[in-house]
């Protein structure tokens, strides 16, 4: 069985409250040997760390752009303190999830930018890569990275242009591909999945979000009472199968390549696997 690394899994999310440990066991049974669990705000820093230690996984600490509206400067100070307190923890592998979101209405762009840049400074201070939230924000994120270089990381759920992909790669980033790629109508994303060099790609689920096509329900179906399917790390091998088919590669080769890429993006993983 191939070994898979889920580089982005919100295992602490409330959707997993009924069966969290069973979810992780099922993923392990499918060959998912490791999950990276990124935080989204101060309130879940302790929980992602505890989960990583409980399941032998890893975690990242940060403030997600969607949570900047209820965060303040005190949270940035506490993040600096938490990174300092846990810098010797081998399971702390990145600052994240951080970034910018240009899709959700009502967010303050200037506030997002301030939190993003402050967390780039922290990544530089502690020598950690970053896990980036990239949604209609690639060019702005790249501008920040050029001005405040960090030790690489992962552009999570990448869905930009080939030019933007190459720009992230030039800055030492890997690009996260997951459930969105499984949808046949995602033409640009599937083309990127085929054309990007193998050393650019890492796999992720973003569980419980971004369900693959076999779990997805349309807005019309949800209006009729059918719930959205819950994504989970056990889906990663099947998602990987779609990527392997798009690239014309055998699954064992894809597993080896994407796992090596994850270790390159998040070097502390090398001591955990």
Residues 24 and 107: their CA atoms lie apart, in Å, by: 33
Q: Is 55 annotated as a binding residue?
A: no
Q: Is 64 annotated as a binding residue?
A: no
3-state secondary structure of 158: coil
DSSP letter for each residue of 56-90: T-EEEE---GGGGGG--HHHHHHHHHHHHHTTT-T
Residues 78 and 65: their CA atoms lie apart, in Å, by: 17
Torsion of CA 261, 266, 267, 270, to 10 degrees: -70
Q: Is 8 annotated as a binding residue?
A: yes
Residues 97 and 207: their CA atoms lie apart, in Å, by: 14
**DSSP secondary structure code for residue 230 in this structure:** P
Q: Is 235 annotated as a binding residue?
A: no
Among 190, 194, 134, 208, residue whose Cα is nearest residue 167: 134
What distance lies between CA 227 and its chain's CA centroid?
24
Neighbour count for residue 218 (Cβ, 10 Å): 10
Helix, strand and coil content of the chain, in percent to the nearest 5, comes to 50, 15, 35
Q: Is 206 annotated as a binding residue?
A: yes
Q: Is 10 annotated as a binding residue?
A: yes
- Dig out the tokens for 234 from the structure: 């056990």
Question: What are the angstrom distances between the C-alpha of 23 and each of 5, 45, 93, 128, 176?
Answer: 15, 20, 22, 29, 21
Strand partners, 96: 131
| Residues flagged as binding site for a divalent metal cation | 8, 10, 97, 133, 156, 206
| Residues flagged as binding site | 8, 10, 97, 133, 156, 206
């Amino acid at each position: 069985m191939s070994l898979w690394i889920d580089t982005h899994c919100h295992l602490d999310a409330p959707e997993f409250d009924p069966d969290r440990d069973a979810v992780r066991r099922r993923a392990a049974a499918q060959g998912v040997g490791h999950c990276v669990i990124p935080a989204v705000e101060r309130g879940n820093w302790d929980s992602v760390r505890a989960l990583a230690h409980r399941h032998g996984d890893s975690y990242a600490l940060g403030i997600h752009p969607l949570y900047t509206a209820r965060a303040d400067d005190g949270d940035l100070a506490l993040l600096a303190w938490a990174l300092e307190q846990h810098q010797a923890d081998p399971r702390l592998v990145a600052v994240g999830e951080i970034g910018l979101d240009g899709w959700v209405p009502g967010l303050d762009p200037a506030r997002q930018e301030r939190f993003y840049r402050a967390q780039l400074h922290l990544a530089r201070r502690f020598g950690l890569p970053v896990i980036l939230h990239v949604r209609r924000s690639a060019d702005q994120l790249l501008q920040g990275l050029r001005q405040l270089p960090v030790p690489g990381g992962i552009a999570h759920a990448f869905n930009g242009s080939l030019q933007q992909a190459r720009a992230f790669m030039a800055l030492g980033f890997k690009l996260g591909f997951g459930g969105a790629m499984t949808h046949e109508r995602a033409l640009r994303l599937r083309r990127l999945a085929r054309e990007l060099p193998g050393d650019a790609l890492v796999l992720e689920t973003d569980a419980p979000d971004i369900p693959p096509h076999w779990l997805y329900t349309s807005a019309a179906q949800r209006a009729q009472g059918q719930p959205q399917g819950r994504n989970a790390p056990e889906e990663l091998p099947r998602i990987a199968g779609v990527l392997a088919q798009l690239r014309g590669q055998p699954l064992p080769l894809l597993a080896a390549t994407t796992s090596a890429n994850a270790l390159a993006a998040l070097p502390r993983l090398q001591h955990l696997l």
